[in-house]
């Protein structure tokens, strides 16, 4: 990892210890559930990233493959074709650190070469057998998210989450990824029924007892109960993220940066004053 990227990584990890941290979503996909196809060029994507940073974004999360239910999987080559031009420009021109949202080792490794300082893996090192070693070699920070291939209403989702994180953390340890660079994500909206999403949400405080920072990504998701289009769920998203903050979450992955930066800053100001 280059010295400038290492400095950005360490500054970001330092900020995680003093929340809130707002992660802005930069989707470069044609089929994401909320904002697919809105950023057709690298210039448009970089301009959007700049807007998010100006609005209070602490880290930009770049994704080249939709992870919504039913999305068509893409090859590593196709994913790289989407993200490489943006990453190359973004890491040069954007002051904020950049994260790569991928579960593929080849994409993670190339993103790190281009300056990404964190890998956000929605399969928690368990989809691509080479991912743990790739993250260790790149020296990036890592988000380990809980996921399931299919929903199963009969299972105890909290127990499933704990087993999943045990496996992922064992893979990280075996590869030599320092615990100080690891963040956990309960995976709200991934492989869970509505009831299980609520159980996973309620488990955030307990999950934090593992000693890792907690990230949540609830932005515009169906479990929030909005009857309208995804953009109509802003109030629900803000409410859910404030509840997550109260339970101990520190990083918030969102589409609507300005609103969350303002709401979360006020929440933490009130909490530090003893008002929450």
Residue positions annotated with a catalytic role? 221, 253
Report the C-alpha gap between 174 and 191 in whole angstroms.
26
Secondary structure, 3-state, the chain: CCHHHHHHHHHHHHHHCCCCEEEEEEECCCCCCCCCCCCCCHHHHHHHHHHHHHHCCCEEEEECCCCCCCCCCCCHHHHHHHHHHHHHHHHHHCCCCEEEECCCHHHHHHHHHCCCCEEEECCCCCCCCCHHHHHHHHCCEEEEECCCCCCCCCCCHHHHHHHHHHHHHHHHHHHCCCHHHEEEECCCCCCCCHHHHHHHHHCHHHHHHHCCCEEECCCCCHHHCCCCCHHHHHHHHHHHHHHHHHCCCCEEEECCHHHHHHHHHHHHHHHHCCCC
Q: Are 87 and 59 in contact (CB under 8 A)?
A: no
Structure tokens at 160: 């499933």
Of 28, 69, 71, 22, the C-alpha closest to 222 is 69
Report the C-alpha gap between 217 and 239 in whole angstroms.
13
Structure tokens at 22: 């707002």
């Amino acid at each position: 990892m280059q010295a400038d990227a290492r400095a950005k990584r360490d500054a970001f990890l330092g900020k995680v210890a003093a929340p809130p941290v707002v992660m802005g979503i930069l989707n470069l996909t044609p089929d994401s559930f909320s904002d697919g196809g809105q950023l057709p060029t690298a210039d448009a994507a970089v301009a959007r990233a700049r807007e998010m940073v100006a609005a209070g974004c602490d880290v930009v999360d770049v994704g080249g493959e939709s992870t919504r239910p039913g999305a068509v999987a893409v090859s590593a080559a196709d994913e790289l074709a989407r993200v490489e031009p943006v990453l190359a420009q973004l890491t040069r021109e954007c002051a904020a650190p950049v994260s790569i949202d991928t579960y593929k080792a080849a994409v993670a490794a190339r993103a790190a070469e281009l300056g990404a300082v964190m890998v956000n893996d929605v399969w928690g090192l368990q989809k691509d057998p080479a991912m743990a070693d790739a993250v260790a070699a790149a020296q990036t920070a890592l988000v380990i998210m809980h996921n399931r291939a299919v929903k199963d209403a009969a299972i105890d989702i909290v127990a499933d989450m704990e087993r999943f994180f045990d496996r992922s953390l064992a893979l990280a340890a075996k590869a030599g990824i320092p615990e100080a660079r690891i963040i956990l994500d309960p995976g709200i909206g991934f492989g869970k029924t509505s009831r299980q999403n609520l159980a996973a949400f309620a488990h955030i405080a307990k999950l934090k007892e593992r000693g890792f920072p907690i990230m949540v990504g609830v932005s515009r998701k169906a479990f929030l109960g909005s009857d309208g289009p995804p953009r109509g769920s802003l109030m629900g998203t803000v409410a859910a993220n404030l509840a997550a903050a109260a339970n101990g979450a520190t990083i918030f992955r969102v589409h609507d940066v300005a609103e969350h930066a303002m709401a979360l800053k006020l929440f933490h100001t009130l909490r530090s004053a003893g008002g929450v």
